[in-house]
Amino acid sequence: MADGSVRLADDAAGETAALDGGQRERIAFVALEFYPATPGGTGILLHHTIASLLARGYPVALLVDMERAAFEKIRDEVRLDLPNGSDLEVWLVDDLVPEAALAQVAFASPEQRRSARIALALEALQRDVPLSMVEFYDYCGPAFYALAGDDSATPPAIAVRLHNTVELIQRRVRSPFDLGRSLDAEMERRSIAGADLLLSPGPAYLRDEIMPLYPEVDAERVALSPPIHRPVGQVRYDPMARDVVFYGRLSRFKGLDTFLRGASLALRDAGFERWLGRFLIIGPEETVAGELTRADCEALILPEQRERFEFTGRMEHAALFDRLGTAAFACFANRIESFCYAAHELATAGMPLVLSDTPA
């Protein structure tokens, strides 16, 4: 736009709706996660976004690259619980492009191979399913090969949702870039530069996190698209509770190392030590940029303090809200955040929060 402003996502949705023309063209999403079949805030975002589109009458295609069991749960169970769920078609990359199809091709990183397989899967999908637009996530640049293909293979329009790139995360946690990660970061940059539309969760994240690192982002291609949030439960809050909660992936960019160091320091103070209960670390151990293993976490805790810390792993919502009944508050020491579904879930469930000052 000439004045440098950005659009709201509804404006962009109106443009894609005009492409339909009654031909049942589908808005497509590429995903590694989808709630509740897999963990992760991106999966929750996609679930709520697709549910909203289906409720408004938009047919949707979901292309996932994940374990077959999770894909089948989405296709056979989760989809049927969505409004107009029959208008959602779910496809698995492995079914469209077998792993052996690229066995003879040398790639510099697993994410480069993933991007190539996704591009081939979309090409195959478009032979039978008309698509109006495909939305990609930004992490490690999965849109790279789809954008690099010839016009016959490239989807009519490509959107990239700005969530958190691997380059942004690794710069923030000061993690070294090996060759593979450097190429992943370059694929992110090419994807962001080539996309027809960029979706940002809010103006502060766009201004403070994205624009300084990616000068190729211009307001003409940006739509503000705050993630849809729906309450998922309620905490039976006890004002006398004394536990403290970390809720999220076990990673440095989520601030787990800061949380553990702060907890250990608090337990060295006699007053705090008597008042505080246990420190609950709730979330999956999964490989993301800046991940922490269980051993890494325990190394930050003094041996005599370890009985005050509990690592629960991932918890389903019903068990989570029951467990939070002993918690006084949750602490989010995130170094970077685009939205943080975890914090929103606990806030709307009635849990007091202590938050870091991030642009989300």
Q: Mean pLDDT, to the nearest integer, of 344-349?
A: 90
Complete DSSP assignment for 97-122? S-GGGGTT---SSHHHHHHHHHHHHH
pLDDT over 90 (residue 194): yes
- Return the higher-pLDDT residue of 26 and 229: 26
Residue 212: cis peptide before it, omega within 30 degrees of 0: no
pLDDT over 90 (residue 16): no
C-alpha distances (whole Å) from 150 to each of 25, 135, 137, 146, 147 are 21, 18, 21, 9, 8
Spatial separation of the C-alpha atoms in residues 337 and 356, rounded to whole Å:
10
Is residue 315 a contact partner of residue 343, using CB atoms and an 8 Å limit? Answer: no
Distance of CA 355 to the CA centre of its chain: 19
pLDDT over 60 (residue 355): yes
State the residue for tokens 């478009």: 126
Residue 232 — very low, low, confident or very high, per pLDDT cuts 50/70/90? confident
pLDDT over 80 (residue 332): yes
Is residue 279 a contact partner of residue 302, using CB atoms and an 8 Å limit? Answer: no
pLDDT at 18: 44
- Return the higher-pLDDT residue of 51 and 14: 51
The residue type found at 16 is T
pLDDT at 32: 96
pLDDT over 60 (residue 6): no
pLDDT over 80 (residue 152): no
pLDDT at 287: 54
Residue 179 — very low, low, confident or very high, per pLDDT cuts 50/70/90? confident
Q: 278, exposed or middle or buried, with CB in 10 Å at 0-12, 13-18, 19+?
A: middle
Distance of CA 292 to the CA centre of its chain: 18
Percentage of the chain exceeding pLDDT 90: 59
Torsions phi, psi for 339 (to 5 deg) = -155, -55
Q: Which residues contact 104 (CB under 8 A, 6 or more apart)?
A: none
- Return the higher-pLDDT residue of 17 and 307: 307
State the residue for tokens 């999908």: 125
pLDDT over 80 (residue 234): yes
User: For the chain, percent helix, then strand, then coil, each to nearest 5?
Assistant: 45, 15, 40
pLDDT at 191: 96
Q: Which residues contact 301 (CB under 8 A, 6 or more apart)?
A: 260, 263, 264, 309
